[in-house]
Structure 1
Amino acid sequence: MVAAMIPGKETKAREQSMVEQAVRPIVEALVANAPSGWTHAVLHCRAGRGGTSATGGYTPPRDRWNTGVPNPYRELMALAETLRKDRGWEPVSLEFRCRPSGEYRFVAFHDAITRVTGMGSGFQVVLDPDYRLSQPGLQQEPGTAAPAGDPETAVARFRAYLERRAAILGHRDELPPPATAAALDEAERRLGRRLPADLRALYTIADGDGIDYENRYLFQGNAWLSLKSLVAEHTDWSAGERPWYGWDLEWDAVVFDTTPADTVRRCGAHPGWLRFATSEDGNFLAIDTDPARNGRPGQLIRTGRDYDEGPAYLADSVTALLGHYLELLDQGAYERHGDHLSLLEPAGDPAPRQIIGEIPDEVPPTLQAIHINNASALVDLAPLTAAPHLRRLHLNRSTTADLTPVRELPVESLRITLDDGNLTPLAGHPHLTSLDLTTTVPTDLAPLRTIPHLRGLDLSRADAPDPTVLADLTELRYLALTGRQWTTLLDKGEVPPSLTAARLADEDATLDDALAWAARLGLPTENAFRATGSFKSASG
């Protein structure tokens, strides 16, 4: 919970003056960029040491797709710094509203309340900033198989790999000296985990493949990290914590499974993944020391920037990967670029994991996500039962009349427009964690009580005559409703008890509206900063 800091009268007056001085040039920029005939302008901002973002527009709108709203970076950063010093807010949420007469209103608060845009527009409040939704892979059954790697075979293959490279390049790769046994022991102590025996053996040949910031990229375009860098990467990576992108993006997020299934835990990151090679673009090769049921310790995966929806399985060991590299060289499947070799991988499995568009005539069994867009008729979901691993089912601007097929699928994230309003097929669904529901007729929400793992819910486009049912959803962490729906819940004291984040889904809501709403949810908002004023504008 964000604590309120209430300044004294003298401090408050001084602060008021400083903030108002910083506000004025921003309002002037908003007015200066206004189109002819405008009657009202609004600018929503988030500003702090990480930069600024701005949304808003003019009434009447200048353009459907481009509001032309300014983002006066320096002035916003100066205002954010003033509020940081006086209130301790970092970053800060800001709202400016003004008219051609020069009259303006300014409201600021800590970013526990933020403006959100896109499909989920309105305001979001975070009641517990430290809470994170758990990753599904943490509950998966662990693997019990022995490691597949063999240190002697790995060393022999690695030396053969270096010899083959030397024959192609016309010289041997210059590599760092080997890591000592003491250095390996210390690295494992700091990691809190043992390196697989085959990878450990490679470090007794060379401590990575970089000398003076020049790498040999021995692992298929990936620079092999030194022990020191491997430990630092694991430490800097917060021992495997997945980046958190905010509740507006995370509440209905899904982590996909790998192929083969159940080999790697369904996580965006994990403390058991030791990054030992980098493509230097935010992606890595990692050793998996804590595999899922069908995996083996020491298996290799791809993880990093492009793998938030789940890692990719690469090989059961470093030993196997080196054998694969030798096979590619034997086949002549490589290209030379100066002193670097690129191995040419065979074409991968064309069966898709995700489809965007419409349900195909033949649904691939590998399908884990589908986004059905702009369907002109009611969508029949029955063909999707051919996808036994489907985790995400989103109907965008598309409608269905029967949810029965979903009952047979492991769908976790469901976004639908429902024509008959019948949620009964979802009763007791063992996998569903998030539901974004739009309805065309009144809907009984009672079946939601029986969904054991429901954590996120958006009913802002649903006709739900009795939203008080939601009070029985004791595990619900995220809820999006309209202002009218929230009023019904709050007036009757029926807010879900474990709510961590929420959205006020009224596009025309003001920050003042959001502050009043958040206060009813239990967030202290009495320290919000407000200022009104007037100046002679160029159009006034």
Structure 2
Amino acid sequence: MVEQTVRAIAEAIAAGAPGGWTQAELHATAGRGGSSTTGGYLPRPSGFHRGVAAPHQQLMQLAEALGQDRGWEPVSMEFRCLPSGEYRFTAFHDAVTRVSGGMNGFEAVLDADVRLPQPGLDQPASTAAPAGDPELAAARFRAYLERRAAILGHPEELPPPATAADIAEAESRLGCRLPADLRALYEIADGDGVGYDHRYLFEGCAWLPLKSLVAEHEDEQETRPWYGWDLEWDAVVFDATPRDTVRRCGDHPGWLRFATPEDGNYLAVDTAPARAGRPGQVIWTGRDHNDGPGYVADSVTSLLGHYLDLLDQGAYDKRGDYIALREPAREHAPQEYIGGGVPEEVAPSLQAVHINDVPGPVDLTPLSAARGLRRLHLNRATTADLAPVRGLPVESLRAGLTGGDLTPLAGHPHLASLDLATIAPADLTPLRTVPRLRGLDLSAADIADVSVLTGLTGLRYLALDRRQWSALLDGAGAPPALAAARLTDTDATLDEALAWAARLGLDTAGPFRTGGSWRP
């Protein structure tokens, strides 16, 4: 069945080829309910990623068959076809996969259990007392319900209170106590849903019953999202506003999700705030907050006071039997800049700067005013001097360097990832003193001595081209703690990638290969 399906896909690739084609390739990863593809025809008349159809159903059939036979889930595949009719198919499990999007080549995962640490885990903890007041919270909540009832013309049906035993069991499973003001609300009602009908009391969010709060917490600890090394190696988690109130994490065990707009986002109470935060503060987390949580209020008590103020101001809409509060527009200090040069006025609140398509070297000196800058990316742009980066808390740096001097980065206390391009040989020695450096892409750099990389004992991710990898592996060898790597050459084949990954220590024995001719 596998050979027949492979041939059918090869025939379809050839049938869809443009005139004058010399080669076609299709790379796919399939399994776990989905497939992704990239590839195209040579020569590239209208872009390499256009023209090859993505046969989802057939790819899933291949993945299922190979999964049953080899135990692979998902499966990495490569088709190569020629106008002569010859085709070649190679498959392996997803430890070696083709990368696409803004990246090229193949990625090898050497240790599937490694995850990069979140910066918020090292932030100093708050020593402040909670801002919430359980008695005041309960009084405000009852007043909130009374005013809503007056607007609607009837009281809203809510479930009965959680019992003391319910709360004790929930806290035992959570491993911590609920903030006292949130606990006081559960002593009034166990959420705001009766059956599947919620009242959406918290900012358009369904207030979860205790059982669901606990289940969300346990599920999140078990299925914390990881988006793959191609996305995570240079990821940055930004500060909330105000700064240092919430830990810089995509998620944290101390965040208890108690309400949701049912779109993958959540209001949570924070039981492990950062230095300037308060225990029990309310934050946003979830699907749209992987790059950093959002601060809402110092407590549930304060949030309820805010809701009462909105009702007093008439800042709400009555929609049938529901009330939607109208949050006032807030002026937020700019946190990200994207442009064709350094901004004329550098806001101190900037945490990310993307400088794009600048023909000459960019002077980074004005960015010294961005005291909280975490990400600095020069895309198709260069600089002659990295010295201004020395005094900034930049964690992710992408830069084209007209020279090769990395001395300004020596000992940088925050730098975690570096994507470097150079036109002159770069001495990597200063990187040995960067304590948090975890990821490097040097595929566009001229490296004076690749053996320096072997001494980067904390490096987890490394991207090089085949020439650089050969020099490194033929000499001193790969960095000892490497968990993922990328072979960046666009024309690399899966077979070449498997041989490269084997040199890195990955067991690449037993790939599936077949081939033939689609011509009768």
Range class of TM-score, shorter chain = over 0.9
TM-score, normalised by the number of residues in structure 1:
0.94
What's the counterpart of residue 444 of structure 1? 427
What's the counterpart of residue 259 of structure 1? 241
Q: Secondary structure at the match of 1:237?
A: helix
Structure 1: which amino acid aligns with 2:265? N
Q: What's the CA shift string for 1:34-77, capped at 9, x where partnerless?
A: 11221211000001132111110011224127521111112111
Give the counterpart of 1:345 among 309, 323, 327: 327
CA contact (8 A) 1:115 1:123 kept: yes
Q: What's the CA shift string for 1:412-439, capped at 9, x where partnerless?
A: 0000001122111111101000000011
Q: What's the CA shift string for 1:361-412, capped at 9, x where partnerless?
A: 1111111111111123321111111111100000001111111100010000
Mapping 1:131-530, distance limit 5 Å? 131-238=114-221, 242-357=224-339, 358-530=341-513
Q: What's the CA shift string for 1:8-35, capped at 9, x where partnerless?
A: xxxxxxxxxx432231111111112111
Q: Secondary structure at the match of 2:377?
A: strand
Structure 2: which amino acid aligns with 1:71? A
How far, CA to CA, are the matches of 1:49 and 1:424 in structure 2? 46
How far, CA to CA, are the matches of 2:498 and 2:14 in structure 1? 26
How far, CA to CA, are the matches of 2:516 and 2:26 in structure 1? 16
* Percent of residue pairs identical: 69
CA contact (8 A) 1:113 1:126 kept: yes
CA contact (8 A) 1:440 1:462 kept: yes
How far, CA to CA, are the matches of 2:330 and 2:346 in structure 1? 19
How far, CA to CA, are the matches of 2:432 and 2:234 in structure 1? 18
Structure 2: which amino acid aligns with 1:243? P
CA contact (8 A) 2:412 2:434 kept: yes
How far did residue 152 of structure 1 move? 0.5
Q: What's the CA shift string for 1:271-295, capped at 9, x where partnerless?
A: 1101000010100000111111111
What's the counterpart of residue 87 of structure 1? 70
Q: Secondary structure at the match of 2:400?
A: strand
Q: How many residues are paired up?
A: 519
Structure 2: which amino acid aligns with 1:306? D
How far did residue 266 of structure 1 move? 0.5
How far did residue 118 of structure 1 move? 2.9
How far did residue 238 of structure 1 move? 2.1
Structure 1: which amino acid aligns with 2:2? V
Q: What's the CA shift string for 1:99-141, capped at 9, x where partnerless?
A: 1221111111110000002332100000000110010111111
Q: Secondary structure at the match of 1:465?
A: coil
> Comparing 32-41 with 303-312, which one deviates more in the overlay?
32-41
> Comparing 404-413 with 489-498, which one deviates more in the overlay?
489-498
Q: What's the CA shift string for 1:142-179, capped at 9, x where partnerless?
A: 11111111111001000111111111122211111111
Q: Secondary structure at the match of 1:341?
A: strand
Give the counterpart of 1:118 among 83, 101, 112: 101
How far, CA to CA, are the matches of 1:350 and 1:378 in structure 2? 31
How far, CA to CA, are the matches of 2:483 and 2:3 in structure 1? 33
How far, CA to CA, are the matches of 2:36 and 2:304 in structure 1? 46
Structure 2: which amino acid aligns with 1:263? T
Q: What's the CA shift string for 1:457-481, capped at 9, x where partnerless?
A: 0000001131111111000000000
Structure 2: which amino acid aligns with 1:466? D
CA contact (8 A) 1:242 1:270 kept: no
CA contact (8 A) 2:79 2:89 kept: yes
Q: Secondary structure at the match of 1:306?
A: helix
CA contact (8 A) 2:41 2:48 kept: no
CA contact (8 A) 2:350 2:370 kept: yes
Structure 1 portions without partners, runs of 5+? 1-17
How far, CA to CA, are the matches of 2:264 and 2:334 in structure 1? 24
CA contact (8 A) 2:39 2:48 kept: no
Moved over 3 A (4+): none
Structure 2 portions without partners, runs of 5+? none
RMSD: 1.2
How far did residue 536 of structure 1 move? 1.2
How far did residue 493 of structure 1 move? 3.0
Q: What's the CA shift string for 1:178-208, capped at 9, x where partnerless?
A: 1111111111111111111110110111111
How far, CA to CA, are the matches of 1:89 and 1:390 in structure 2? 42
> Comparing 214-223 with 335-344, which one deviates more in the overlay?
335-344
